[in-house]
Amino acid sequence: MRKKIAAGNWKMNTTLQEGMQLASEVVNMASDEVKSEVQVILIPPFPHLTSINKLVESKNGIYVGAQNCHQEASGAFTGEVSAEILASSGIDFVVIGHSERREYFSESGDLLAAKTNAVLKNRMTPIFCCGEKLEVREQNGHFDLVGTQIKEGLFHLTAAELSKVVIAYEPVWAIGTGVTASTDQAQEMHAHIRQVLAENYDQDLADGISILYGGSVKPDNSRELFACPDVDGGLVGGASLKSRDFVDIAKSFQ
C-alpha cells in the first residue's frame, strides 16, 4: 500500500515564533482530525527544524522535513547543511530538486542524484521533485522532460533504494500561481511517471512509490486531486502556511 502524504513546504517563510505557532496549530488539529494512515510532513526553514521536531516528536503520523541539503557529508562549504547534520537532528524527509532550486540555484541532474544518495545514506526519505515549465508543456515536451529528470536523479539507485523515495510532480506553471493542474493533467503525468518506473525497474516497485502532486494545492481542489488513482498526496506551498487550510488538505483523502 502506498503511503498517503500531505507535505507542507514553507519555503523561506515564517520567523521562528511564527513557525512554532503554525506547527503547534497543525499538530493540535491534525492529531484530532487527520486519519492515522496519512503522513503529515512539516517542512520549515532550517533554523526551525529542531524546535519543531521536538514539538511533533511524540505525535504519530506527523513528521518534519528539510527543504534541501548539501551532497557532501561535511567540510568547508560555508552556508550549507549536510544530510548527515539533518539526520543527527532527527529529521525524516528532505526535499530534493524543487523547481526553485533547479531554477535559482542551478541544480543539475547530477547534483540532485548526489543529494539523493546523501539523504538515503543517512536513512532519511528524499522527496524528489520534477516538473516542466509552461513552454515545455506547450511544445508537448512535458512527458519526456519529467522522464529525463527522474532518470537523471534516481535511476542510478538500486530497486531497494528507489523504493524508499517519494516523488513529487510539480508543474512549474502551477507553483504559486493559483493555477492548478486539472485532475486529468495530474493523473496522466503521475501514471506516466509510474510507467517509466515500471519500465526501468518493475511494476511492483512502481506501484509502491508515493507520487505527490504540487502546484497551488488548496482545500477546494485537494479532494479531487487526491482522488486520482495515481496521486498519493500533495506537496503544498502557500496553503501550508495556514494551519486550517493545510489540515483540511490533509483531511481530504478518501
Catalytic residues: 98, 170
Task: Give whichever of 176 and 199 is closer to ligand PGA, judged by the CB atom.
Answer: 176
The Cα–Cα gap between 239 and 106 comes to 26
Q: Tell me the closest approach of the beta carbon of residue 41 to ligand PGA, in angstroms.
A: 12
Q: Tell me the closest approach of the beta carbon of residue 222 to ligand PGA, in angstroms.
A: 10
Q: How many residues line the site for ligand PGA (CB under 6 A)?
A: 13
With binding defined as CB under 6 A, does residue 130 bind ligand PGA? no
**Contact between residue 212 and residue 7 where contact means Cβ atoms under 8 Å apart:** yes
Task: Give whichever of 98 and 192 is closer to ligand PGA, judged by the CB atom.
Answer: 98
Residues 6+ apart with CB under 8 A from 13: 45, 241
Residue (of 197, 138, 220) closest to 171 by Cα position: 138
Q: Tell me the closest approach of the beta carbon of residue 224 to ligand PGA, in angstroms.
A: 16
Q: Tell me the closest approach of the beta carbon of residue 142 to ligand PGA, in angstroms.
A: 17
Q: How many CB atoms lie within 10 A of CB 153?
A: 27
Helical spans, DSSP H, in 90-227: 99-104, 109-121, 134-138, 142-154, 159-162, 183-200, 203-208, 219-226
Q: Which residue is nearest to ligand PGA (CB)?
A: 237
**Contact between residue 211 and residue 229 where contact means Cβ atoms under 8 Å apart:** no
With binding defined as CB under 6 A, does residue 81 bind ligand PGA? no
The Cα–Cα gap between 49 and 207 comes to 31
Q: Tell me the closest approach of the beta carbon of residue 15 to ligand PGA, in angstroms.
A: 19
What amino acid is encoded at 156 in this protein? Answer: H
With binding defined as CB under 6 A, does residue 250 bind ligand PGA? no
Binding mask of the shown chain, residues 143 to 172, with x at each position contacting ligand PGA by CB under 6 A: ---------------------------x--
Give the interface segment with ligand PGA, choosing from 79-87, 110-118, 204-212, 235-243 (CB under 6 A). 235-243
Residues 6+ apart with CB under 8 A from 38: 4, 5, 6, 61, 233, 250, 253
With binding defined as CB under 6 A, does residue 238 bind ligand PGA? yes
With binding defined as CB under 6 A, does residue 208 bind ligand PGA? no
Mapped onto helix, strand or coil, the DSSP state of residue 6 is strand
The binding site for ligand PGA (CB under 6 A) comprises: 9, 170, 175-176, 214-217, 235-239
